[in-house]
Structure 1
Amino acid sequence: MTERNEGEQQAAALRKGHAARAESAAARAAALSRYVEQHASNGHADAVWKAAHAARVAAQALAVFAESSADAAAQSRCARNAAAAAAQASQMGQLVAADTDHAGAAIGLALKAAFKASQAAGAAAGAPHSGAHEELNSAADLAEAEAVSAATQAGWIRPSESVPSVDIGVRSSEVLSMLHF
């Protein structure tokens, strides 16, 4: 096998991992947005808006990922952005759950897992490795899986329900370039 083929295979494997993480985080954010909308009282209109916005940002990161070239750094940043947006949505889930019967230890663990997933995705995307460090990517993959599990335990994600679709809104070149920072 030539070095070029090995490089292409490695790039494909990185893309697959970053894509799975970005898709998972975007789905988590969308499910959280639905949860917040369904469980928010009248006093939580801001939480509903913030959760919906977080889901939109995660969906935009996923859209940018789909349009990106085979650049592990850019792809990893998209996965990081989706995870950060899902963490924001998790904060709104916790806020809304505090006023319902759903509050409990599972909610706190789900929020901590969301933050951990965001931090792990940030570490994987960060310099100097820029999405190409195997151990950091593995840690981010594991943290994302734990965040999904914790969100499911908290009732934010219902495995029997399909992931809600999220309108990504207006996508300008300025917004797209900001998602790659």
Structure 2
Amino acid sequence: MTTTAEALSERHGARARSAHLRAEAACRHAGIDPASAPPVPDSLPARAAGALRLSAGSLAALASAPAGSDPAAAARCARNAAAAAALAAQAAAGPTPTPALGTALAASRAAGAAATGVAAGRDPGLNSAAEETERLAVTAARTEGWLPPAPNAVDGAATAG
């Protein structure tokens, strides 16, 4: 039987994986290699590369944690991945703002709201808002060509991958 904590952790984990895939795709589009991130990033591409590496580490830690052990930690992981995706979108968009950048920033703000304060990943309204903005960010990244088309374009897959 799935507990509420497990269900919350899975929802946050799915959002984190989706945002991480968006970050990877935007970095790839911008020609950013995460392995080349310097210890002290001094540019937007370097910050995006570093954030992507940190996001990968957070996802690995989340994957190794017991199921549902800490929904707040899973929500913070989703927040960090969304922030990495926003940095990567800034680098990929270049000097001209794009819808993919706007939705990446909105997804990052929504993920932050869902993860912080008294919400701690457990507020249904904030979680739903974060999921919806992630879906919109995925759609915009696909439209921009950073992500491949949805596996089943008819159903408008909610997350990347």
1:52 matched residue in structure 2: 49
Q: CA deviation at 1:135?
A: 1.1
**Partner of residue 29, structure 2:** 35
Match of 2:39?
A: none
Count of residues in Structure 1 that have an aligned counterpart in Structure 2:
140
* 1:26-70 CA-partner distances (Å, limit 9, x unpaired): 1111111111118xxxxxxx5543433232122122112223351
Paired residues of 1:28 and 1:148 also in contact (CA < 8 A)? yes
- Give 1:13 shift: 1.0
> Is residue 80 of structure 1 aligned with residue 70 of structure 2?
no
* Secondary structure of 1:158's aligned partner: coil
Aligned pairs (5 A) from 1:131-170 = 131-159=121-149
TM-score by length of 1: 0.70
Q: 1:124 to 1:152 in 2, by over 3 A?
A: same
Distance 1:130 1:160 in 2: 31
Contact 2:107/2:130 (8 A) holds in 1: yes
Q: In structure 1, list runs of 5 or more residues that go unmatched.
A: 39-45, 164-181
Distance in 2 between residues matched to 1:120 and 1:74, nearest whole Å: 16
**2:61 aligned with 1:64:** yes
Q: Which has the larger radius of gyration?
A: 1
1:117 alignment partner, one of 93, 107, 111: 107
AA in 1 matched with 2:102? K
1:102-113 paired onto structure 2 within 5 Å:
108-113=98-103
Letter in structure 2 aligned against 1:92: A
Identity %: 44
Query: What is the aligned-residue RMSD (CA, Å)?
Result: 2.3
| Native 8 Å contact 2:27 2:88 kept in 1 | yes
The structure where helix makes up a greater share of residues is 1
Unaligned runs of 5+ in 2: 33-42, 152-159
Give me the whole-angstrom Cα distance separating, in 2, the residues matched to 1:151 and 1:54. 18
Tell me if the contact between 2:100 and 2:144 (Cα under 8 Å) persists in the aligned partners: yes
Q: How far 1:17 sits from its partner (Å)?
A: 0.3
- TM-score after normalising by structure 2: 0.78
